[in-house]
Amino acid sequence: MPPIEEPQDDLTVTPPKTWAAGVPAVAHALEYSLAQTSPRRTALTLLNLNQDGGIDCPGCAWPEPKKRHKNEYCENGAKHVTDEATSRRVTREFFAEHPVAELAQKSDYWLNQQGRLTEPMVKLPGGTHYQPIGWDDAIGLIAGELTGLASPDEAMFYTSGRLNNEGAFLLQLFARAYGTNNLPDCSNMCHESSGSALGETLGVGKGTVSLEDFYEADLVLVVGQNPGTNHPRMLTALEQTKHNGGQVVAVNPLPEAGLKRFKNPQRPSGVVGRGTTIADQFLQIRLGGDLALFQLLNRLLLEAEDDAPGTVLDRVFIERDTAGFEAFAEHVRRTEWAEVLEATGLTREEIEELRGRVLASKKIIVCWAMGLTQHRHGVPTIREIVNFLLLRGSIGRPGAGVCPVRGHSNVQGDRTMGIWERLPEPFRHALEEEFGFAPPTEPGYDSVHGVRAMRDGKVKVFMGVAGNFVRAMSDSAVTEEALRRCRLTVQVSTKLNRSHTVCGETALILPTLGRSDRDVQATGEQFVTVENSMSQVHTTRGRLDPASPHLLSEIAIICRLARRTLGTGGSIPWEHFEADYGLVRDRIARVVPGFEDFNERVVLPGGFRLPSPVNEGVYRTGSGRAEFSCNDFTSLVAPAGHLVLQTVRSHDQWNTIPYTMDDRYRGIHDSRHVVFVNPDDLDELGIEDRALVDVVSVWDDGTERRLEGFRTVSYPTARGSGAAYYPEANCLVPLDSVAEASNTPTYKGIVVRLEPVAGGGG
């Protein structure tokens, strides 16, 4: 295969697309796949993708329907899995050729395109290059560091949503048997706000709806979410909502193609026809205006009930299932139109139109993603959405409920398996009963606290199991410096990424099996399991020969590390767990509620759905009822001469990794160094379209963070609301800028100014 060149930054802009998917999506997926690997491996991978007994897409966590299409995946899913199944390889010769300092200068794109990692590598103290190390020595090195620490809390174990259920369960078991709850995960950076708000108000930190609910809903509100890029098969569900007579309303600062029109490549009408209009109404809201919108909507519902008693609110449900209604109603009646119009940038007519749609709907689903969770007031916003649904009784009934849409395949499952810096008492007790040791009770570090702890020298060993922590976290310079202060950094990975170039004194790369790789252990071929966004637990089984004979599964790595660190004589049979993943599932069945008969049920077609207590009318809250809450909003309006900036993903990217330098749907080609600005804002700022600017964020303590040499792109985003790509713009988010209660970095609410670069033109 030809060597990978660094992409040239050569921006061209075409009009944004007005529809998503269709034939071009299929063509792009195939083009990318065939550039990565052979037609045979492409076919083997794609024919098994998202099929019963096949490979679960490592992309987002959108569920599969009961009746599956033979091509049950989207453009991005095809890219994700063939990106992993690539035939390119990163060998010891590659590392000998490229010193770490050189790799650190390479782009995320270039690093990813080098291919699959093939053997364990170590960078020793003072060394300039990674060099090969045997598995035994690598595991021994980590165990030596861990056993030498003054306290287990000087280590932390990060997880991304790629890790399967069994691996996640074993990782938290190992960390807790070792003695720490330092288990930050990528949830800390994405849906922590959802878990926090839903746990408080409904007693469970997950969504309540199933795919079938989308087919029955009268109204689906898609808020702060771009399904066309981040959860593309969700468009198929929304298309079905429309076909069944339901309506869809999109609330977003950006007019995304997937929210406008969807050409379903699985239907003839999507191939040759006009496709389906998705959003019946598009509310182009300002960044951070969602709480104000829902608060006003709730006031309007109360007033509509006043006008026609007994026709708007679900009084029976409110009486029977909820608490706190009176205080909430009193609070929300004080919401002022003028303040809401300022915070949202919407018109009175737009909000009244939405009110009309809500009043005409009995079964309502609200979906959301990072556009809500990554704001300072992400948690109160989601609490207010719960208020909204409770008023209409749209919780716990078919066709209605909450739907936080997860962007990474097993991020929800990892949390179910106990990956959390907080250890709930029932889980702690169950672990103690099952394994006979006393897990630590003190909360550990989440991602933000973990960076602070590394920065301050309190954490000395960082181990990342999957993911790209350095790139995913906020305040990139601070995060990188924190990692560099560690005695040891360990990255368990399939491919090269930026985190491998940010080394502790000693750094290890441990290459692992991907989703698409066959996993054979001492007792034979294994499968693992995942949980999707709608709490369906099912198997995933790799079909390809592993990228190298020297790879270990994550489970094997964790088990071997546990044995070396904790010794072999304890009560946890790590060796047997490594040999037979079914034994891990037997233990999960005894520790985690809802997993009874795990091994038997998970191999049934489609697996099984975890119980949703809310749908049974059970609320594990303090009052035993669904809780109304009182929330206050403040307008996120930037001072004069400034914008509020959000980070967004391009269509041709997955999480931290761009697959090309394009963002097809938004009309951006050959560059990621752009900042989208409303044309009227550009006028007001006196800056031209395509001008070269530095993007500078300003933080409360007077410090500034700078992104140099970006081009402005005049774009129809909401007034005052700019956008730049994630992860490039993460450096602008101060470490201390976090959401209340959830501690999630505020990637969607950064106050910035644009500083024209002399001679940067337009």
Which of these, 279, 299, 302, 293, lies nearest to 220 by C-alpha position?
279
Q: How far is the CB of 531 from ligand SF4 (least distance, A)?
A: 13
Q: Per CB under 6 A, which of residues 662..701 are in contact with ligand SF4?
A: none
In degrees and rounded to multiples of 5, residue 221 shows phi and psi of -100, 120
Of 231, 392, 471, 485, the one binding ligand SF4 (CB under 6 A) is 231
Which residue, 62 or 659, is less far from ligand SF4 as judged by CB? 62
Written as six digits, the tokens of 530 are 């995942």
Q: How far is the CB of 80 from ligand SF4 (least distance, A)?
A: 6
Q: How far is the CB of 38 from ligand SF4 (least distance, A)?
A: 21
Pairing of strands 364-368, 219-223: parallel
| Count of other CB atoms within 10 angstroms of residue 438 | 12
**Is the separation of the CB atoms in 561 and 142 below 8 Å?**
yes
**Is the separation of the CB atoms in 166 and 721 below 8 Å?**
no
Query: Residue 549, class by beta-carbon neighbours within 10 Å (0-12 exposed, 13-18 middle, 19+ buried)?
Result: exposed
Residue of this chain nearest to ligand SF4 (CB atom): 77
Distance CA 636, CA 383 (A): 18
Q: How far is the CB of 417 from ligand SF4 (least distance, A)?
A: 19
* Contacts with 308 (C-beta within 8 Å, 6 or more apart), sequence order: none
Which residue, 80 or 415, is less far from ligand SF4 as judged by CB? 80
Q: How far is the CB of 67 from ligand SF4 (least distance, A)?
A: 15
Which residue, 532 or 746, is less far from ligand SF4 as judged by CB? 532
- Applying CB under 6 A, does 232 fall inside the site for ligand SF4? yes
- Helices (H), ranges, 376-446: 378-391, 411-416, 425-435
Written as six digits, the tokens of 492 are 């368990």
Distance CA 146, CA 488 (A): 9
Q: How far is the CB of 443 from ligand SF4 (least distance, A)?
A: 32
What distances in angstroms separate CA 34 from CA 29, 83, 542, 667, one per listed residue?
9, 10, 19, 24
**Is the separation of the CB atoms in 261 and 276 below 8 Å?**
yes
How many residues interact with ligand SF4 (rule CB under 6 A)? 13
Q: How far is the CB of 535 from ligand SF4 (least distance, A)?
A: 15
Which residue, 232 or 275, is less far from ligand SF4 as judged by CB? 232
Angle 609-407-481 from CA coordinates, rounded to 5°:
130
Which of these, 272, 195, 209, 257, lies nearest to 237 by C-alpha position?
209
Q: How far is the CB of 69 from ligand SF4 (least distance, A)?
A: 11
Q: How far is the CB of 161 from ligand SF4 (least distance, A)?
A: 11
Which residue, 77 or 207, is less far from ligand SF4 as judged by CB? 77
Q: How far is the CB of 667 from ligand SF4 (least distance, A)?
A: 22
User: Which region among 231-239, 388-396, 500-508, 626-634 touches ligand SF4 (by CB under 6 A)?
Assistant: 231-239
* Contacts with 280 (C-beta within 8 Å, 6 or more apart), sequence order: 247, 248, 249, 357
* Contacts with 412 (C-beta within 8 Å, 6 or more apart), sequence order: 61, 161, 206, 406, 531, 532, 533, 535
Q: DSSP class of residue 125? A: T
User: Which region among 226-234, 417-425, 439-447, 506-514 touches ligand SF4 (by CB under 6 A)?
Assistant: 226-234
Which residue, 74 or 190, is less far from ligand SF4 as judged by CB? 74
Q: Which residues pair with 490 in a beta bridge?
A: 463, 508
Which residue, 241 or 714, is less far from ligand SF4 as judged by CB? 241
Of 233, 487, 711, 748, the one binding ligand SF4 (CB under 6 A) is 233
**Is the separation of the CB atoms in 470 and 503 below 8 Å?**
no
Written as six digits, the tokens of 2 are 């030809």
User: Which region among 159-167, 230-238, 564-572, 752-760 touches ligand SF4 (by CB under 6 A)?
Assistant: 230-238
Which residue, 61 or 149, is less far from ligand SF4 as judged by CB? 61
Which residue, 29 or 724, is less far from ligand SF4 as judged by CB? 29
Which residue, 54 or 205, is less far from ligand SF4 as judged by CB? 54
Q: How far is the CB of 162 from ligand SF4 (least distance, A)?
A: 12
Q: How far is the CB of 228 from ligand SF4 (least distance, A)?
A: 10
Distance CA 13, CA 115 (A): 30
**Dihedral Cα 405, 410, 411, 415, nearest 10 deg:** 120
Which residue, 57 or 626, is less far from ligand SF4 as judged by CB? 57
Written as six digits, the tokens of 263 are 């050409």
Which residue, 163 or 453, is less far from ligand SF4 as judged by CB? 163
Q: How far is the CB of 717 from ligand SF4 (least distance, A)?
A: 24
Q: Compose the 19-58 pattern: x for residues touching ligand SF4 by CB under 6 A, - for all others.
A: -------------------------------x------x-
Q: Compose the 52-91 pattern: x for residues touching ligand SF4 by CB under 6 A, - for all others.
A: -----x-xx-x----------xx-xx--x-----------
Q: How far is the CB of 117 from ligand SF4 (least distance, A)?
A: 23
| DSSP, residue by residue, 21-64 | EHHHHHHHHHHHHHHHS-HHHHHHHHHHBTSTTSBPPSS--PPP
Which residue, 232 or 727, is less far from ligand SF4 as judged by CB? 232
Q: Compose the 557-596 pattern: x for residues touching ligand SF4 by CB under 6 A, - for all others.
A: ----------------------------------------
Q: At what angle do helices 165-178 and 554-566 cross, to 10 degrees?
A: 10
Ranges of beta strands (E only) in 551-637 are 608-609, 626-627
User: Which region among 8-16, 155-163, 227-235, 252-260 touches ligand SF4 (by CB under 6 A)?
Assistant: 227-235
- Chain residues that interact with ligand SF4, rule: CB under 6 A: 50, 57, 59-60, 62, 73-74, 76-77, 80, 231-233
